[in-house]
Structure 1
Amino acid sequence: MALPGLDISDSIDTAASLEREIKPFQEFRFEVAPTNTVTIKIKTESPGTAELFGTELSRGTPYTFTGCKSAIYSWTGCTLIIEGSPSVEYIAEETPMSTYLNLHIALEKLRFAASDCPPTADGAQGPRILLIGPPDVGKTTLCKILTGYSIRQGRKPMVINLDNGGEGILSVPGTISAASFGSVMDVEDGFGNSPMSAPSAIPVKLPLVYYSGLETPESGAARYKKLVTRMSVAVNSRLEEDIESKNTGLIIDTPSFENQANGDLISYIVAEFSVTAIAVLGSERLYNTMLKSFATSPGVTVVKLPTSGGCVDRDPPFKKACRDAAVKKYFFGDEKCTLSPYTVTVEFDSPTFALWEVVDSTIADAKTNLSFLPIGEDESSLQLEEVKRLSPGDIDSRFENLIVAVLQVDAKDAGAKEVGESAVLGFLYVQEVDEKARRMKVLSPVPGRVPAKALLVGKWPEGMFLT
């Protein structure tokens, strides 16, 4: 009934409930704003099934989505119940899912061949596929699909994220990471969660994380390559101990590659991880460039894949909101798992305190800082500097609202080489910097003092307000 004097109903808080019937080989695409929430489930009476990026949805189980652009595909047809108001929602008939399934089947044939080889034989190594392409063509989505299908086949893929400018996989933005996936992925969270101080419905993964602290590999190409090398050494060592993951192989997600200048970096990644297949999405030019580059490499196959019509350009505000949400989730959790971070004071003059900063080695940044070079130094010396240690006088309010990586090297013994190539223990969030008192307040996901480890602050992700 209408309220007196107002043309609204007394049930305005009730979320709208819609039903959408998906026919076989159709896809329900939807977008949800970061400030909105939508719940979707398969109707209990519906005979069919559906999946979200390779992970099957349980019938009758509600799944909550916020701040995402996603799609639910059905091979058999089903009925969805949607509660809430997606900003965009429609059913698509043309999808590349059959092509992606064919790619998965081709990888499975190679995995079967690897499984039949003796554990010590070189042939026991499964396929290693590298996903490349321009921005917003679905590389990470395809990575999820291939991972989900592999897990459903009983496999144990090693997933590697080399996109330091993205939202992060099992970590915060600004990092590269690797993890072995032996259990089902989370429909709502995609790749799932890394260990936090609360239980999780989906088994957590234990990722290996390196902090880049820059938006693009080109901003610090030399250090990025070193991190890729360290990652490849660690991954190969793990595969030698885990024959199941070795037989399954690697699925590697990458930053946005779209021009000739990225060729050297792609070749470096291919060599370090012994890549056997390169899948190019969304760029005919990049595909032909890869064909020419690896024409003399008999062990590398280059394939071209179509881009889904559901892939849309994500504007900078949306990407910024997603990055902020990823960092906020690390410290505060989400609706399913609320966390309470601890406020810790860090003294600059403490003997166990060592704060380092990532240096942007691009030419533009080098020219900006030429006036600060010592006498006798030139521009080339600045470009070679990848990280620098900060004195207490260099730490000011510009570091507020940034994240700081806690590294696996001791603060006292760490040099530039160790800091620049060290893996990560965890992250802190800088709330306040008191220059006069020479201390700062940080948020920590665990109680107690900040460990006596080297701290590294970068320029990415940019400042965010979490509290």
Structure 2
Amino acid sequence: GGRGLGPGSGRRAGSGGGRGLGRGRAEPRAWLAGGRSLGPGGRITSRLAEVFNQRCEVNRRAATSGCVINTCGWVKGSGYQALVHAASAFEVDAAIVLDQERLYNELKRDLPHFVKTALLPKSGGAVERSKDFRRESRDEKIREYFYGFRGSFYPHAFDVRFSDVRIFKVGAPTIPDSCLPLGMSQEDNQLKLVPVQPGRDLVHHLLSVSTADSPEENLIETSVAGFIVVTSVDVERQLFTVLSPAPRPLPKSILLIMDIRFMDLK
């Protein structure tokens, strides 16, 4: 098995050793969409569906039980298209909509006729989450990734030399269609890998550690080993300090930067 960076790869509180996430049966599969926007989300959704179907071919229990897709609350524009794409990629046979009649009617119209679409009322007292609440929830989940539930994990802090890693960003800056190279679409531009030079602006950024061995591989559709966060950058010494769920060294050298930042204030 390989070395992973999953939660719990470091020392547990009150235990004598760590629990690594290698290529064992319990290892989850994770991909990077680039940040809070959808970005290459369609490609990743298709890849996730492909991996799930491969699992069903060799695992009778998975094939029998199927899967439940918990979608996000973005249900307009690109968010709605992502919902329809996920339903198509996974070949869903049932879609349950909570308390949104308009979304229910749109899915009823756009999904294949064999998909059973149901509209259910929301539970009493349930309210829509505000933007601030969603941001706080995301920060709490990131903190839990490194420190565990109620501080049950002890993450590691160590230095990484600039020369030991290669950092890329998914998606080039948006430009008008008229300025795109011949034969290139906006989608291609969103999927473009842009090299990132390490600098002070890396501080507090989340980075994913790709399992790819070379940038020539399809980094977008390659799963990630885990995530680290940059806590400081020393340009003079050409290194940056990271918070990691597993001890040094990093399992791979290709990192993908996210537009999500995390400040460990607690």
1:180-223 per-residue CA deviation (whole Å, 9 max, x = no partner) reads xxxxxxxxxxxxx96544389xxx96421112122132xx1xx2
Unaligned runs of 5+ in 1: 1-192
Unaligned runs of 5+ in 2: 1-5, 15-20
**3-state SS of paired residue (2:210):** strand
Q: Aligned residue for 1:302?
A: 117
- % same residue: 23
- Residue 366 in 1 paired to residue 163 in 2? no
1:281-327 per-residue CA deviation (whole Å, 9 max, x = no partner) reads 12111111112223xx3421111111122222333333222222211
Instruction: Check whether the contact 1:428–1:442 (CA below 8 A) recurs between aligned residues.
Output: yes
Q: 1:334 to 1:280 in 2, by over 3 A?
A: closer
Q: 1:340 to 1:257 in 2, by over 3 A?
A: closer
**3-state SS of paired residue (1:210):** coil
Query: Where in structure 2 are the equivalents of 1:196-345 lying within 5 Å?
Result: 196-197=9-10, 198=12, 206-217=27-38, 220=39, 223-259=40-76, 262-294=79-111, 297-335=112-150, 337=152, 339-345=153-159
Amino acid corresponding to residue 148 of structure 2 in structure 1 = G
Deviation of the 1:381 alpha carbon:
6.0
Q: 2:63, 2:193 → 1: CA distance?
A: 38
Q: Aligned residue for 1:390?
A: 195
Structure 1 window deviating more from structure 2 (430-439 vs 225-234): it is 430-439
- Residue 425 in 1 paired to residue 225 in 2? yes
1:110-152 per-residue CA deviation (whole Å, 9 max, x = no partner) reads xxxxxxxxxxxxxxxxxxxxxxxxxxxxxxxxxxxxxxxxxxx
Query: Where in structure 2 are the equivalents of 1:111-126 lying within 5 Å?
Result: none
Q: 1:382, 1:347 → 2: CA distance?
A: 34
Instruction: Check whether the contact 2:206–2:227 (CA below 8 A) recurs between aligned residues.
Output: yes
Larger radius of gyration: 1
Q: 2:137, 2:219 → 1: CA distance?
A: 28
Alignment RMSD (CA, Å):
3.0
Q: 1:309 to 1:389 in 2, by over 3 A?
A: same
- TM-score, length basis structure 1: 0.48
Higher relative contact order (CA 8 A, sep 6+): 2
Q: Aligned residue for 1:464?
A: 263
Q: 1:387 to 1:309 in 2, by over 3 A?
A: farther
**In the comparison of the two structures, how many residue pairs are matched?**
248
Instruction: Check whether the contact 2:171–2:194 (CA below 8 A) recurs between aligned residues.
Output: no
Q: Aligned residue for 1:28?
A: none
Q: 1:418 to 1:309 in 2, by over 3 A?
A: same
Which of 204, 214, 219 aligns to 1:401? It is 204
**3-state SS of paired residue (1:366):** coil
